[in-house]
Structure 1
Amino acid sequence: MSAITKEKKATIFTNFGGKAENTGSIEGQIALLTERINHISGHLKQNKKDFSSNRGLMQLVGKRKRLLTYLSKHNLTGYRQLIEKLGLRK
């Protein structure tokens, strides 16, 4: 059920983290989590009773929220640019 391939991960980290090898960047991690969250949400729209995937989705959302608060405390301009680029917090 892995929806994210190596190539897709590399493009996400290239777009948000600077380089494909920079997998530790906060912006790249948040973008990757957002991609996974969008994929699981689409799965849950079709399978409403899949409670284990729902729990996993809630964990991913919590992790993304923690990373976003860290980014907002340490790099406010980068936080605002990332929110705008990903289309979060409308």
Structure 2
Amino acid sequence: MSHFTTEKKANIFKTFGGAETNTGSIEAQIAMLTERINHISGHMKGNKKDFSSNRGLIVMVGRRKRLLQYLSANNLTSYRSLIEKLGIRK
């Protein structure tokens, strides 16, 4: 996770969580996981045999999926706006 600077993380948390210190909100967690998934997906395109990174990617996708299911069950409007902002689930 070395490609994330503290400023980039703070910007993600401020944009999706409402404040830089609101790291526990569901929206901020999903946004952070999406950034990490996109970074590792790019890494996997060039390193197809990196199986440990591939497993980490699968674990992160599963965690994001569970968080998205929780958000859609509890706050559907927030879920819809989040997936539109992040560009996931077409």
TM range (shorter): over 0.9
The alignment covers a number of residue pairs equal to 90
Q: Can you give the 5+ residue segments of structure 1 that lack an aligned partner in the other structure?
A: none
The alignment's C-alpha RMSD in Å is: 0.7
Alignment correspondent of 1:9: 9
Q: Does 1:29 align with 2:26?
A: no
Alignment correspondent of 2:60: 60
Q: Does 1:72 align with 2:72?
A: yes
Amino acid at match of 2:32: L
Alignment correspondent of 1:20: 20
State the TM-score, normalized to the length of structure 1: 0.98
State the TM-score, normalized to the length of structure 2: 0.98
Q: Distance in 2 between matches of 1:30 and 1:6?
A: 17
Runs of 4+ aligned residues of structure 1 deviating over 6 Å after TM superposition are none
Q: Can you give the 5+ residue segments of structure 2 that lack an aligned partner in the other structure?
A: none
The structural deviation recorded for 1:3 is 1.4
